[in-house]
Amino acid sequence: MVSARCSVGAIVSGWHRVRSGGQAFAAAPRSFSVLLIPFACLAFATMANAADVIPVPEFTDHEVPISMPAAGDHSGWEWLNVGLLVVALSLASYFALVNRSRRGLFLLAVASLAWFGFIRGGCICPIGATQNVTLAIFDGTYAIPWTVVAIFVLPLVYTLFFGRTFCSSVCPLGAIQEIVAVRPVRVPSWVDHTLGLVPYLYLGLAVLYAATGTAFIICRYDPFVSMFRLSGNVNMLVFGGALLVLGVFVGRPYCRYLCPYGAILGVLSKGSKWHAKIAPEKCITCHLCENSCPYGAISAPSSPPPKSERAAARRQLAQMIVLAPVLILLGLFVGRLLATPLSKLDPDVRLAERIILEDSGDVEDTTDASDAFRNTGQPKAELFASALSIQQRFKTLGMLIGGWFGFVIAVKLISLSLKRKRTDYQPDPSRCVSCARCYWYCPGEQVRLGIIGDVSELVELNVEKPTALETTP
């Protein structure tokens, strides 16, 4: 022990003596530091071995300060956020279903945007919580705060009872788009249906990457969070801005064509106990509401196809059902091919590829990551083996995601082939976000409010009666 003390003392004091030669150092800083490296390494190694015997300088009356980062603050904000989420969800459901107040919903949207968006920086986010919940399911060591679980679960439960009232005016991402949707145009239905599949694919990818602990892609590509924080990645600011500009003409582009949580809510909303209704009592099929919806979520009355076409319709449905397994198998196959690009989000895979490229001379320069890796002196074989095993894992995961997407397309095709009978104008529960814009356009609503008398028996506006269609041969 004594000898260790001597040797470390000698090295450290020698080191200081060399370094106090400021003139020599100033004259040739580079060569000096090169000389110093092996020396410093020696000091490193000895210090680690003799941890307790490093002489710490003592001063006559100087206190050597200690600096360290502040401790994390995990106070009541989270509780408050969950509480406010419950209040906002309840209010939104009340405004949409009971009070039928567009003004109430709009004000609530503004308030949610201000609080959950700008004040809390967009981070009470059930959309992003999807990933935390997924990771918590797949990784037992990941500790998920109960507030995150609550933030994920509460809108789901509310949706099962009241429809997507969370989307209407609680979600700040929805709120910011709701406010800018002033000149909506009708999106062609085939575009709407096709782009409407994207959220399911996005959801699948988000779950896949979260489950493997690779990345939280929903947060990485959150278009509005940098806007809420008035800072952040320029690309995302531009993306968010572009979505908002688009949102003036195409209602809620993020909610309809990207939001993975919206996909879940859409499915759950199909079975909601109570859902926003356009006509408070009886629909007189006046179709005035149809154009009022910026989100293309109002389904017009329809009737089953006439007898002559029924066989064809049935055949189409049968075809789609047969096609389903084919689509899923095709998805599995394509997914397997996509395994390599999918795995590129993993930093180890990227690093391994980069090292291979550099070694083969295909690229001239190096990256920070490859430099750092080479400096550690870790064996390359280890890195390559780890990258390969990750890629292998992505082969299975790629197939899963491909299969999932095949399934989603199949379900869509089948649902499009199903002809349902509808006598009224109704909100499509999966697409309607309960924004209450259509209410005001409904004469029934005006009657309910006592603004006009009862019109239902005076006006016969539905020119094309379903019964008329029935009788045509």
- Using the minimum distance from each CB to other proteins, give the nearer residue, 140 or 473: 140
Site for other proteins in 356-395 (CB under 8 A): 367-369, 371-373, 375, 385-386, 389
Stretch that binds other proteins, among 20-28, 170-178, 296-304, 394-402 (CB under 8 A): 20-28
The 52-71 site mask, x for binding other proteins (CB under 8 A), equals xxx-xx-xx-x-xxxxxxxx
Q: How many CB atoms lie within 10 A of CB 466?
A: 15
Binding of other proteins at residue 38 (CB under 8 A)?
Answer: no
- Ordered DSSP codes for 291-313: GG-TT--EEPPB-PPPHHHHHHH
- Using the minimum distance from each CB to other proteins, give the nearer residue, 20 or 472: 20
Binding of other proteins at residue 338 (CB under 8 A)?
Answer: no
Consecutive H or E run containing 397: helix 380-417
Q: Are 251 and 177 in contact (CB under 8 A)?
A: yes
Stretch that binds other proteins, among 44-52, 187-195, 275-283, 403-411 (CB under 8 A): 44-52
Site for other proteins in 315-334 (CB under 8 A): none
Binding of other proteins at residue 74 (CB under 8 A)?
Answer: yes
- Using the minimum distance from each CB to other proteins, give the nearer residue, 99 or 386: 386
Structure tokens that stand for 23 in this block: 């003139």
- Please, what's the b/e burial string for 431-443 (b: 16 or more CB within 10 A of its CB; e: otherwise)? bbbbbbbbbebbb
Site for other proteins in 185-214 (CB under 8 A): none
CB of 463 to other proteins, least distance (A): 25
Structure tokens that stand for 17 in this block: 């003596």
Site for other proteins in 256-315 (CB under 8 A): 268, 271-273
3-class SS of residue 72: coil
Q: Are 89 and 166 in contact (CB under 8 A)?
A: yes
CB of 182 to other proteins, least distance (A): 29
Report the distance separating Cα 147 and Cα 144, nearest Å: 8
Q: Which of 3, 231, 471, 472 binds other proteins (CB under 8 A)?
A: 231
Q: Which of 44, 380, 452, 470 binds other proteins (CB under 8 A)?
A: 44
Binding of other proteins at residue 82 (CB under 8 A)?
Answer: no
- Using the minimum distance from each CB to other proteins, give the nearer residue, 200 or 373: 373
Report the distance separating Cα 444 and Cα 192, nearest Å: 29
The 113-132 site mask, x for binding other proteins (CB under 8 A), equals --------x-x-x--x--xx
Nearest by Cα to 178 from 256, 116, 280: 256
CB of 314 to other proteins, least distance (A): 19
Binding of other proteins at residue 150 (CB under 8 A)?
Answer: yes
Structure tokens that stand for 264 in this block: 């879940």
CB of 226 to other proteins, least distance (A): 7
Report the distance separating Cα 209 and Cα 341, nearest Å: 13
Q: Considering CB under 8 A, how many residues would be counted as binding other proteins?
A: 86
Q: Which residues contact 208 (CB under 8 A, 6 or more apart)?
A: 342, 397, 400, 401
CB of 160 to other proteins, least distance (A): 5
Nearest by Cα to 332 from 244, 397, 429, 288: 397
Q: Which of 226, 316, 343, 391 binds other proteins (CB under 8 A)?
A: 226
